[in-house]
Amino acid sequence: MNLAEEIRRLSKNKKAVILAHNYQRPEIQDIADYVGDSIELSRKAMIERDAELIVFAAVDFMAESAAILNPNKRVLLPTLEARCPMAQMLNVEEIKKAKAHYPDAPLVLYVNTLAAAKAHCDVCCTSANAVEIIESLDAETVLFGPDRNLAEFVQRKTGKTVIPVPEWGFCPTHLLFQPEDVRVLKMQHPDAVVMVHPECSFEMQNVADFIGSTSQMCRYAMKSQAKTFIVGTEEGLLHRLRKDNPGKKFVLAYDGAVCPNMKLNTLERLYAALKEERHVVTVPEPVAKKARKALERMFEVTS
Ligand code: SF4
């Protein structure tokens, strides 16, 4: 049996749409209907009006967002254990403590949070629109969670006081990148452009020519005249970058930058989830309602 063909056949029969995050394995990206970042994908699912099933090859919070934004469709996560450690770093208790300390500061949460956390924020953001969202707020002090590096990036860009909640939130994969590795690669590829994700450390951001989300990196690489790029984000994005830019060279800034949680999804697990329609992700409606409001507010600001 050709698994990829069987997945496509099942998907068509079940009126499913397969979404793959940019960090998924190449073979999953290749069979997906759409490849992109988390919110891009949830919105794609929203416009697929005939779809009854969403198979979201990604991690927990992304499938939750898709379920929140698509209440009439069932959302499947191929591997239930695929959880983002950064999203787990922010709980409701931490949010309540921060709000008690700064009662007048709005709370902005990165979409890399669980639905229960999103339900307590004023507005969500992505790494692509975080600066725009913070600028849109009529407040000079803003609470921001859970990624400390993204909080610092936004603070530098907006000039506002951005307080990280919790103080220490981070993505374990993006913290693996080190400026020293980039310096060595620059010696090998002196003309290369360095692109990094804002989840990378401040030191990494300082050696970058371009800082942006995965979708922004894809657009930047397409438009750029450069022929070689050193990339500071999870290795899965390189598959898409290489596919979209056949004449250009992409080098990962650190070979070990693999998100083990994203890589829990395999073609076999995706096939099993789709065939048995298992691992349905649900969010209780009272939580979903509040979280949806925060996501919709983000869409209003950035539309
Ligand atoms: S790359 Fe980082 S933020 Fe993204 S899912 Fe993995 S651990 Fe979470």
- How far apart are the CA of 35 and the centre of ligand 1, in A? 16
Structure tokens at 52: 């009854």
Q: What is the largest CA-CA distance in the chain?
A: 59
> What torsion, rounded to 10 degrees, do the Cα atoms 245, 248, 249, 250 define?
-40
Per-residue model confidence as pLDDT tens for the chain (303 residues):
899 999 999 999 999 999 999 999 999 999 999 999 988 898 888 888 889 999 999 999 999 999 999 999 999 999 999 999 999 999 999 999 999 999 999 999 999 999 999 999 999 999 999 999 999 999 999 999 999 999 999 999 999 999 999 999 999 999 999 999 999 999 999 999 999 999 999 999 999 999 999 999 999 999 999 999 999 999 999 999 999 999 999 999 999 999 999 999 999 999 999 999 999 999 999 999 999 999 999 999 997
CB 193 less than 6 A from any atom of ligand 1: no
Q: Which atom of ligand 1 is nearest the CA belonging to 87?
A: 8
- Bridge-based pairing of strands 193-196 and 210-211 is parallel
Ligand 1, pocket-test mutation among 59, 217, 254, most atoms within 8 A of CB: 59
- How far apart are the CA of 180 and the centre of ligand 1, in A? 22
Q: Does the CA dihedral 116-117-120-121 come out positive or negative?
A: negative
- Note if the bond before 146 is cis, omega within 30 degrees: yes
